[in-house]
Amino acid sequence: MNIVETIEIVNEMRAEKVFENYALGGASAVIFYTEPIATEDVDIFISIKNANDLTVLTPIYEYAAKHNFPVKAEHIVIKGFPVQFLPTFNNLTAEAAENAAEFELENVIVRVMRPEYLTAIMLDTGRTKDFLRISLFLESDLVNMKELEEILSRHDLSEKWKKNKHRLIR
């Protein structure tokens, strides 16, 4: 069981045009940059044409069936890791996937949402665990504050940031 093998398959899916592009997001992306936190899946945000179409995930499930990857509820188990494919659902997540950073792991390229976008998405989502994760990011000096403020401004999140900033920056 190696996450790099899982990512290798995701790269193959992109190469076969199952989706246009992808980026690791959610808790797995936070873990990529920081420390292990509890998670039950690997979140892969995908860019797809006609994302409003109800059959948007059909090519993914067809790919899974063709390659004998088990499907468990909303997850596709790829090389031992349950993966959830999430179509980007607003301008912020689309921009985050588009501008993902690329890293190399054991000769495999992985696209990971940048800390500034992850912070903006977590602020937008706004659950308690999201605020804890933002604190973790800020404490680790991972966030370029100027870039973050530009993203927040573009996506109407500046006010929400101002309201919560004092709880997040010590």
Partner 1 sequence: MEEKQTSSDPVNEEIWRERIAKTKRMFRSAQQTLSFNEKMKIAFALSERDSQIRKAKKK
Residue numbers of the site for partner 1 (CB under 8 A)?
1-4, 27-28, 31-32, 34-40, 42, 81, 105, 140
CB of 53 to partner 1, least distance (A): 31
CB of 3 to partner 1, least distance (A): 5
Output 129 or 163, the one with its CB closest to partner 1: 129
Output 141 or 159, the one with its CB closest to partner 1: 141
Q: How far is CA 77 from CA 6, 17, 36, 67, in A?
A: 9, 20, 20, 11
CB of 41 to partner 1, least distance (A): 9
Output 26 or 87, the one with its CB closest to partner 1: 26
Output 28 or 119, the one with its CB closest to partner 1: 28
Q: 33: exposed, middle or buried (C-beta count within 10 Å: 0-12, 13-18, 19+)?
A: middle
Q: In what order do the strands lie in the sheet with 75-78?
A: 71-72, 75-78, 81-87, 42-47, 21-25, 108-112, 101-105
